[in-house]
Amino acid sequence: MPVPSVPLGSEPSVVPPRRRRRKEARPGEILDAALEVFSAKGFSAARPDEIAALAGISKGTLYLYFPSKEELFKAMVRQTVLPNVGEMERWAAAFDGSATEMFQGLLARIARLFSTHRVGRMPKIIISEATAFPELAQFWIGEVVERAFAVMRSILDRGVAAGEFTPVRAEAVIVLFSPMLMLALWNQSIGPAVGRPLDPEMIAAEAARFLLDGIRVREEAR
Amino acid sequence: MPVPSVPLGSEPSVVPPRRRRRKEARPGEILDAALEVFSAKGFSAARPDEIAALAGISKGTLYLYFPSKEELFKAMVRQTVLPNVGEMERWAAAFDGSATEMFQGLLARIARLFSTHRVGRMPKIIISEATAFPELAQFWIGEVVERAFAVMRSILDRGVAAGEFTPVRAEAVIVLFSPMLMLALWNQSIGPAVGRPLDPEMIAAEAARFLLDGIRVREEAR
DNA sequence: CGAATTAATGACTAACCAGTCAGTAAGTTG
DNA sequence: CAACTTACTGACTGGTTAGTCATTAATTCG
C-alpha cells in the first residue's frame, strides 16, 4: 500500500506528498508563521527553525525565500501593517458625520482592529525592537505613525472648523492615541501574563469620553 | 617604577590596582550596569560579559554575586522601581490642595521622574519581557501597577467627594495613565531611533488638559 | 517516457554564549 | 612576615543557533 487511502467522507483532495512544490504560497505562509513566533518571543529569541516548522517547511526552504532572519522580520512587519493603514485612510476619507462621531468611530475602529486582527501585536514588537533596529523604527514612523497622525489631524481640523473642538497642537496628537496603544500593549504582554485582559470596547468608549469632555464636572453656573 | 605616580593636580585618591576587593560596592554597580545593558538590548540579547565589563569586573565575579542572568534581571527591576513607588505614595498622602491640582501634579511628577531617572526605562523593559517572564509581570502588577492605581483612585475619590470630578469606573483608570506611559515608551524606543524625543513637560500638561476638560468646546448656551 | 529543471531538504559548520572552576592575588590575622 | 582567607579572574566547556550547500525528489518539457 504505497499510497495511503483517503478516508471515506473526507474532502476529495489529494493526499499531500511529503514535499510539495508550492512556490507561490510559501512567502505568505512563512510571514504568517513569523508573525506568530516573533510576537511570542521577540526578535532575538525567535528561531528560524521554529518559524519554518510552523510554516510546514524546513529551515533551508525558509532561507530560499528570505535572505536572513532580519529581512524576514522586516517583511513580516510590512505585510502585517500596511494594508490596515490604507483601510483606515479610506474610511476617514469617506466618513460622513460630525467630528465628535468621527473621533469616537476612530477609537472604536482601532480597538476592534487590535482585538480581532494580528496588527494588535505590532506595537509591542516595534517598541521592543526599535533600539536594535532603528531602520525599522524609521519605517514605522514614516509608514504608520505619520499616516495615523494625519488621519487624526483631519478629524481635529474638521472639529475646529465646525466649532466642535478647541485647537490642538500638533505635538500633542500622540496623547489622543495613547489609550488605544496602551490597550494593545497591555493585551499583548502584561495582561495575558497575569490573566487580566482589558475589554477593548470599554477602553475605547471611556477614552473617547475622557478625551472629548474630561473628567471634570461641567460648570453649570457662569 | 612599580607604582605609577599620580599626576599633579589630580584627586589624591590611590591609583586603583587591577583587582580591588570591594564586596560591598559590587552588587549596586552590577545592577546599574545591568539596567543599562538590559534596557538597551532586551533580555535575550544582553550578554553577561558586557554587563560585567561595564561594571568594571570580570564575568566570573558577576556570577559570584548573582546566580544567573535571570536572577540578575529580576534584582535589577526590583532595585530600579520600588523606591520610586514608595516616594510617590508618600507624596500623595501628604498632598494638600484640590483634586485637580493633585491630578496635574501627579502627571507632572511622573513626567519628571521618567525623564530624569532611569525608571523611565522600565515600562519598555516590562512590556518587552512580560511574555517570557510571567512571574516578572505579576511582580510588576502587584508592586507597581496596583499601587499607582491606588494613588490615582485616591485622587479621583477626593475629586468626586469635592464635586470636582465625575465618577470614573475602576477599569478605566489605566486610560488616565496611558499618556505618561506612552511618553516613557516613546522616549525609550522609537523616539531616539528616529531623533524625535517628546518633551515630557508638554506631554504632561496637554494630557492633564485633555483628561480634565477634553477637547470639546464648552457649551456656553444652555 | 526520459531528460532537464528547480523546489525542498536536513546534516553540517562556524560562531556565539551562559555558566564553571582551577588558579591568582588582595587583604587579614597571629 | 608568614600563613591563611577569600574576592576576583578568564580560559574553558557544553550547548545552542544562524546560515550553507550537496543531495533528493517533484514537476515540466521535448
> Which pLDDT value is given to residue B47?
97
d(CA A34, CA A70): 11
> Which pLDDT value is given to residue B10?
35
d(CA A77, CA A129): 12
Closest residue in B to A145 (Cα–Cα): B190
Identify whether B100 is part of a domain. Answer: yes
Task: Provide mean pLDDT across the span A79-105.
Answer: 96
Q: Which three cell numbers stand for residue B125?
A: 523593559
Please say if the pLDDT value at position A115 is more than 90: yes
Identify whether B10 is part of a domain. Answer: no
A109 lies in which domain range?
Answer: 77-214
Identify whether B179 is part of a domain. Answer: yes
Name residue A15's beta-bridge partners: none
> Which pLDDT value is given to residue A92?
98
Q: Tell me the DSSP string of A69-122.
A: HHHHHHHHHHHHHHHHHHHHHHHHHH--S-HHHHHHHHHHHHHHHHHHSGGGGH
Dihedral of the alpha carbons of A179, A181, A182, A184, in degrees to the nearest 10: 130
Identify whether B24 is part of a domain. Answer: no
Estimate the share of chain B in helix, then strand, then coil, as percent rounded to the nearest 5: 70, 0, 30
Please say if the pLDDT value at position B150 is more than 80: yes
Identify whether A38 is part of a domain. Answer: no
Task: Provide mean pLDDT across the span B184-189.
Answer: 95
Identify whether A183 is part of a domain. Answer: yes
Q: What CATH number corresponds to the domain at position B103?
A: 1.10.357
d(CA A84, CA B26): 50
Per residue in A191-218, pLDDT tens? 998 899 999 999 999 999 999 999 998 7
Dihedral sign (CA B181, B184, B186, B190) = negative
- Counting the structural domains of chain A, the total is 1
Which of these, A139, A98, A105, A109, lies nearest to A122 by C-alpha position? A139
Residue B53 Cβ < 7 Å to strand C: no
d(CA A136, CA A154): 26
Distance B25 CA to C30 C1' (A): 29
Q: Which three cell numbers stand for residue B166?
A: 465625575
Chain D, protein-covered positions (CB within 7 A): 6-11, 17-22, 25-27
Using C1' positions and the CA of B19, the closest nucleotide is D8
> Which pLDDT value is given to residue A3?
34
Task: Provide mean pLDDT across the span A153-171.
Answer: 96
Distance from CA of A4 to the nearest CA of B (A): 41
Identify whether A69 is part of a domain. Answer: no
Q: Which residues of A touch B192 (CB under 8 A)?
A: 131
Place of cell 494638600: B96
Which of these, B211, B190, B132, B222, lies nearest to A139 by C-alpha position? B190
Q: What is the pTM of this model?
A: 0.87
Identify whether A115 is part of a domain. Answer: yes
